Structure 1
Amino acid sequence: MTSAAPASPAATPWRLVLLLGALTAFAPMSIDMYLSSFPAIGQTLNAGPEQVQLTLATFFAGMAIGQFLYGPASDRLGRRAPILLGVVIYTIASLTCALAPNIEVLLGARFVQALGGCAGAVVARAVVRDRFDHAETARVLSLMTLIMGLAPVLAPQLGGLIFAVAGWRAVFGVMALFGLAIGLWVLLGLRESRSEETAAQARAENPLRAFGLLLRKKRLLGYGIAGALNGSVLFTYISTSPDLVMGTYGHSPLVFNIVFAANAVGIIGASQVNRLLLRRFKPDEVLTRASLASTALALVLTFFAWTGVGGEWTVLPLLFLALSTYGLMSGNTMAGALSVDPRRAGSISALMGGASFGAGAVAAWAAGLLHDGTPRPVAAVMFACLVGSGLAIFLLAVPRKPAAA
């Protein structure tokens, strides 16, 4: 028997959802737009493929570190100021990327670009928790995934078009324009939402103490580990998919873009299924069932990847299904974490986002280290991450029902 969510959810604040969704799109825009430019960047800057690949790793590192700065700052100073500061940093760093004379400058600029861009995502999640309860937070986060999910669909196509017309430097120029546009939107359209209770709590404690107290909360730890490992599946796919589709399976960049976009559509679709399921079920109920489904799919994917049965015709469809479950899990792990201690929503958002990018970087590195020209490492890393995510959900995050007397 399930416990239904409120039967009549409040009207969706679409203007706010669109803005917050755009704020969370900094990372996918900054990652996906330039993937097809890798060879040209290497040729222009006289850098090897492994050096160009590092520009992605440094971006992940900047996203992980920066969130630990903006989260506590948004609790202490308010939501708007950290976002605007981050947008300014992102825009300047994007222009620096566009003008980079060598690979070293590009690596440094990408790190700083991430330090700025992560402000949007971490503070946007805190804004959602400021305004909505647990169930509504999960619904709004699913809607934000719909907006954010358009970036992996559109960004590779847009980046490829810009690259073909004006070269890879222009791709980073467009990123700078994106940052400028979002900054103006925030300046004119986002009201302050941090409560006085949150402000008082933040002023009364050191940010490090806040993180320490939060990490002692068993449920938050469970949601955090689950969210980080679930996100690692996505990062592993992003970092390995060009080599898998174009290298292992020998497809053209056009086919790669189609496959990449199809998987993004799968995640978007699952996030909207999640929004509908939340009308009948609690977020934790959806989360536990999605976790079981994702682990089962990853197990089947691993079997076919290791045996080679069916080749790409089994691996790619199973990869699509396994990735799609991200849309069922990400919003619910985040909503669950934010509900543990709403007064520290910014710090919780920072922990969740930083852990996700940190774990994602490790998972992507592991998949690269195990690279053998087959889909086996990708499948194995994804399966291990989803098993760990499931254990965190069932052992730590989801409250156990008390035993009958």
Structure 2
Amino acid sequence: MVIVLLMVSPSPSRTVPTSAATAPAPAGRTAALVTVLGALTAVAPLATDMYVPGFPAMGDALGASSSAVQLTMTAFLAGLVVGQLVIGPLSDGLGRRRLLISGSAGFVLFSVLCALAPNVTLLTGSRFLQGVAGAAGMVLARAVLTDRFHGAELPRYFAVLSQVMGVAPIAAPVLGGAVLAVSTWRAVFAVLTVLGVLLLLAVVRAVPESLPPERRHAGGLTSTFRAMGVLLGRREFMGYVLVIALVAAALFAYISGSSFVFENLHGVSSTTYSLIFATNAVGMLAAGAVFARLAGRGVRLNTLLAAGVGVSVLGALGQVLLVVSVGETLAGTWITLFVTVTGIGLVFPAGMSIGQAVGRTAPGAASALLGGLQFFFGALAAPLVGLFGEDSSLPMALIMLTSVAAAGVALVGLARFWQGHGEPERRTA
């Protein structure tokens, strides 16, 4: 993961900041900071999926049903949502560093409790708390970037975080499978504990406070959460939030349903499916790299966001039309999903960059809403694929199409992207 971050971390921009927030850090310190923030962003996806290959063994060891074991993942996702919605606004009043250190330490503690849980009830509770603690890294990474970087720099660094989010869900089951090949499911949480310790040390060393006292919200918790209420009432901000959340719903539907579609309907092996999934992820990563390059050259972020939504809609619509007209085809399904996921790779960095810029008056609250609702919508969409049938890829395709089409409606009706909200002010040195 660190290698990926170092490969995609952009060089420092020569853009002059639009506000006198924080003096530019040396290039080496900036690279270290972005690397740690990217690793913090990756922790939640890793903790979500690493233990999935061990579900059957976990049920046997704890004497739990499959639904009870699956509930441990739901609890973790719920913790991610709650944690982001609480920690993000709190950080606007208390600062980022102390909450980031506390969250990282909490992740270590609750990972240990997960590894030692004697029954599924305690495991579920520990997973919820692990999610709350892990949410600190995700929500505060975005807030720290917003505090420290401005202008054309910010979209580049958000592209890095988006690329990490594309890699982590793919790496997680592979890492989990490797651990399970030599040990039990409890070892997965032991590995997460070690990763948590390393991240805690990295945060202490490489992530200074990015929100000085004079820029924090005064007035305690009431004022802090009032800022979130103000953001909720801003039409354009909520438009961008919904674009991100609805596209995330399409991505979660793809992640939860694609293995069934390719392995059961098209008869490919698990190894072949991994190759297909990885290929589609490459499209997502390439889209993030293209976004960073185009944004750095002055292409409007709203234009890139609209292009990403449009590509995703075309891909999902193509999948639906193929199934309805031609039937199930391996090549058609693979190509259309590749197109959809590539479009999503443009949406995430563009939407996050614009959303954080529009909500810059309260970056923690903005990050909480952008990230929290993303996982909330994703958690709602994921189980729908299996709920509507398992004899066709049409349910997955329709859920993805509905989600990205609704994102398009939010982009036009609420965000009104042509008005140029959140565009960075550029001024060359």
Q: TM-score, normalised by structure 1?
A: 0.91
Distance 1:252 1:55, change over 3 A: farther
Secondary structure class of the residue paired with 1:342:
coil
Distance 1:156 1:7, change over 3 A: closer
Contact 1:153 1:265 in 2 (8 A): no
Query: Is structure 2 residue 348 aligned with structure 1 residue 330?
Result: yes
Shift of 1:37: 1.7
1:269 to 272, 286, 303: 286
Shift of 1:178: 0.8
Whichever residue aligns with residue 390 of structure 2, its letter is D
Shift of 1:251: 3.7
Query: Is structure 2 residue 265 aligned with structure 1 residue 235?
Result: no
Distance 1:8 1:187, change over 3 A: closer
Aligned-partner Cα distance in 1 for 2:288–2:101: 28
Aligned-partner Cα distance in 2 for 1:202–1:137: 29
2:406 to 385, 388, 393: 388
Shift of 1:137: 1.5
Contact 2:309 2:344 in 1 (8 A): no
Contact 1:80 1:192 in 2 (8 A): yes
Shift of 1:177: 0.8
Whichever residue aligns with residue 40 of structure 2, its letter is L
Aligned-partner Cα distance in 2 for 1:260–1:166: 26
Structure 2 unaligned blocks of 5 or more: 1-11, 17-25, 421-429
Shift of 1:67: 0.5
Shift of 1:189: 1.1
Q: Deviations over 1:103-144 (max 9, x none)?
A: 222222211111111100100000111112253211111022
Q: Deviations over 1:133-156 (max 9, x none)?
A: 253211111022234433233322
Shift of 1:310: 4.7
Aligned counterparts, 1:50-129, within 5 A = 50-129=67-146
Distance 1:324 1:41, change over 3 A: farther
CA RMSD between the two structures: 2.3
Shift of 1:383: 0.6
Aligned-partner Cα distance in 1 for 2:58–2:271: 19
Whichever residue aligns with residue 238 of structure 1, its letter is I
Whichever residue aligns with residue 263 of structure 2, its letter is M
1:258 to 275, 283, 287: 275
Shift of 1:347: 0.5
Shift of 1:399: 4.8
1:221 aligned partner:
238
Comparing 145-154 and 313-322, the one that deviates more = 145-154
Aligned-partner Cα distance in 1 for 2:410–2:312: 14
Q: TM-score, normalised by structure 2?
A: 0.86
Shift of 1:357: 0.9
Comparing 372-381 and 150-159, the one that deviates more = 150-159
Contact 1:18 1:144 in 2 (8 A): no
Distance 1:239 1:153, change over 3 A: closer
Distance 1:201 1:369, change over 3 A: farther
Distance 1:143 1:173, change over 3 A: same
Distance 1:190 1:7, change over 3 A: closer
Whichever residue aligns with residue 132 of structure 1, its letter is F
Shift of 1:239: 2.4
Aligned counterparts, 1:130-149, within 5 A = 130-149=147-166
Aligned counterparts, 1:349-368, within 5 A = 349-368=367-386
Contact 2:93 2:224 in 1 (8 A): no
Q: Deviations over 1:66-85 (max 9, x none)?
A: 11111012111111111111
Q: Deviations over 1:241-288 (max 9, x none)?
A: 343333333444333333333333222221111111212401111111
1:46 aligned partner:
63
1:34 aligned partner:
51
Shift of 1:202: 6.4
Contact 1:72 1:207 in 2 (8 A): yes
1:290 to 283, 292, 308: 308
Q: Deviations over 1:282-338 (max 9, x none)?
A: 111111122111111110112223446352221123212211222101111111111
Distance 1:202 1:277, change over 3 A: farther
Residue-pair matches, total: 397
Aligned-partner Cα distance in 2 for 1:8–1:294: 33
Distance 1:204 1:102, change over 3 A: closer
Distance 1:204 1:362, change over 3 A: closer
Whichever residue aligns with residue 111 of structure 1, its letter is F
Whichever residue aligns with residue 85 of structure 2, its letter is F
Structure 1 unaligned blocks of 5 or more: 1-5
Shift of 1:197: 4.7
Aligned-partner Cα distance in 2 for 1:305–1:356: 28
Aligned-partner Cα distance in 1 for 2:58–2:225: 39
